[in-house]
Structure 1
Amino acid sequence: MYIKKKSLMTLSILIVLFIVIATVLANSIKIDSVKAVSDASINISLFSARFFNININGIINEESLIRYKILQFSKDELTSPVEITYNNNSYLLTFDEEGISFFTIEGTKVNSVEFEEGRIISSCISDLDNDKNSKLVLLTSKKNREYADEMIVYNFIENVQSKENISLEEVYRFACEDLNPWKVQTCDVDGDGKLEISLGVYKTAPFHPEMAKRPFIYDWHKGGIAPKWRGSRLSRPFEDYIFADIDFSQSDELISIEYLSDGNKALASYKWKGFGFERNAESESFTDIKELRKGCWIEGQGYEIEAFVKAEKNYKWETFVLKDGELKVKKD
């Protein structure tokens, strides 16, 4: 009897310790973002989080006994998991500097690809051909540089024997070392329903012979790219930029983090005018703005914009909306 009571007491202590440890660990995990997958028939979301100084990517499956599943973790910065579509099948991708890994939508790993081209500088997933199949666009560096040497466009291909084995097929390669590109993304700046490719480059320009960040725009054709706009710069020096339809116009605005003359930063929005970009809105001034991302889609309004800003002493994510010609912080 004594031995049985002692065993029960030990078990109770272990259970209490487990609950305490689980609670401490849960409170130490800071979730940065959660995004539901496109298939509404399954209750799965992608998440990015931090646990002390460890970055984590994974999935949240509300229908599984193990609700959280980690796909990737590192002390280094991680790119959020990305959903792709091919032949009406959905997969998940995770990136590191040397390659990508493929997972089923439930988080089972099915393949990984290492790139001989070198380190991945930037990437984006987009349906460039409007055929409901995703493409992968990469900037890579063979020389371990800060900037890329090449831009490569890949198709996704499935193994005909196994629908759960997917890989890559190169369709286009562009040597761009002279541009010093540091970011790639896609957009539709003129609202014609066809996506363009934008490269963030660091170089001089004929009318501004100083090294600076500049957003270049290229039209995409199945055989390659053609320059659409390679203007000298924006209204002010900028740190980063994204594209989003923030005014429900069916075309994407360019939203940038810009430096002000007093050293502070502000968000600015630019609209395509057929021959270039014209600034149409900006935010109030902040001590600093570190990150920028596309937020939620609001019907009749367009996308919200989220920025990691420092207003007084601390950084926090703020949501911005276009209102009365200004990018204003959304009030709860």
Structure 2
Amino acid sequence: MKKYNNSTLDEWKLPHPVYNFEVADADNDGQEDIWVGVIKTTRFDTTMRKRLFLFKIIEGKIRPLWLGSRMSKPLVDFSPAYTFDSLSNTKKCIIRTIEREESGNFLVGNYKWKKFGVEFIKYEIRETDSISAYKLLEK
């Protein structure tokens, strides 16, 4: 914990390389969350891969929301995206990913927060090139 301008600043040290950092409301609770892409192994996957970590800020402290071990395919990149929920008449945040297909091509997938992790929604596109995938990621 550090002091900064008479206020408390919490920090979470990550001993892993970071390849992406975003701030968006992953769990749609009205508060922004911290999205961090790290490169690391896990207990069940000993290959160095890109992973997605989600953190909450609770009473000024950074706490893990989800320390993802994997998506449906190997993760390349991610970004928050937004959909409109016509039932509640609200904008909802989703997790949009670029993942690598077994063929070496790419897919763009959508996931949503569900209680204690992420749930697959749908693929936007499959078996595409990286340029097309990144165009969809940036929408």
TM-score band (shorter)?
A: 0.7 to 0.9
Aligned residue number for residue 120 of structure 2: 279
Aligned residue number for residue 95 of structure 2: 254
- Deviation at residue 183 of structure 1 after TM alignment: 1.7
- Aligned pair count reads 131
- Deviation at residue 251 of structure 1 after TM alignment: 2.9
Aligned residue number for residue 207 of structure 1: 44
Q: Secondary structure, in 3 states, of the residue corresponding to 1:289?
A: helix
Does the 8 A contact of 1:266 with 1:284 survive in 2? yes
Q: What RMSD in Å do the two structures reach over aligned CA positions?
A: 2.7
Is 1:181 paired with 2:22?
A: no
Who wins on radius of gyration, i.e. which is larger?
1
Q: Tell which has more relative contact order, 1 or 2 (C-alpha 8 A, sep 6+).
A: 2
- In terms of mean alpha carbon deviation, does 240-249 or 230-239 score higher? 240-249
Is 1:289 paired with 2:131?
A: yes
Aligned residue number for residue 8 of structure 1: none
TM-score when normalising by structure 1: 0.36
What runs of 5+ residues in structure 2 fail to find an aligned partner?
none
Q: Secondary structure, in 3 states, of the residue corresponding to 2:27?
A: coil
Letter in 2 for 1:183: N
Q: What are the equivalent positions in structure 2 for 1:138-177 lying under 5 Å apart?
A: 171-176=9-14
- State, as a whole percentage, how many aligned pairs show the same letter: 30
Q: Secondary structure, in 3 states, of the residue corresponding to 1:256?
A: strand
Letter in 1 for 2:127: S
Q: Distance in 2 between matches of 1:231 and 1:260?
A: 19
TM-score when normalising by structure 2: 0.79
Letter in 1 for 2:129: T
Does the 8 A contact of 1:186 with 1:198 survive in 2? yes
Does the 8 A contact of 1:257 with 1:289 survive in 2? no
User: Which of 94, 106, 110 is matched with 1:269 structurally?
Assistant: 110
Aligned residue number for residue 226 of structure 1: 63
- Moved beyond 4 Å, runs of 4+: none
What runs of 5+ residues in structure 1 fail to find an aligned partner?
1-151, 156-168, 294-304, 308-318, 320-332
- Deviation at residue 267 of structure 1 after TM alignment: 0.7
- Deviation at residue 291 of structure 1 after TM alignment: 6.7
Letter in 2 for 1:171: L
Q: Distance in 2 between matches of 1:251 and 1:306?
A: 16
- Deviation at residue 243 of structure 1 after TM alignment: 0.7
Aligned residue number for residue 243 of structure 1: 80
- In terms of mean alpha carbon deviation, does 197-206 or 218-227 score higher? 218-227
Aligned residue number for residue 18 of structure 1: none
Does the 8 A contact of 2:33 with 2:57 survive in 1? yes
- Deviation at residue 273 of structure 1 after TM alignment: 1.2
* Change beyond 3 A, Cα 1:181–1:210: same
Does the 8 A contact of 2:41 with 2:47 survive in 1? yes
* Change beyond 3 A, Cα 1:224–1:291: farther
Does the 8 A contact of 1:265 with 1:289 survive in 2? no
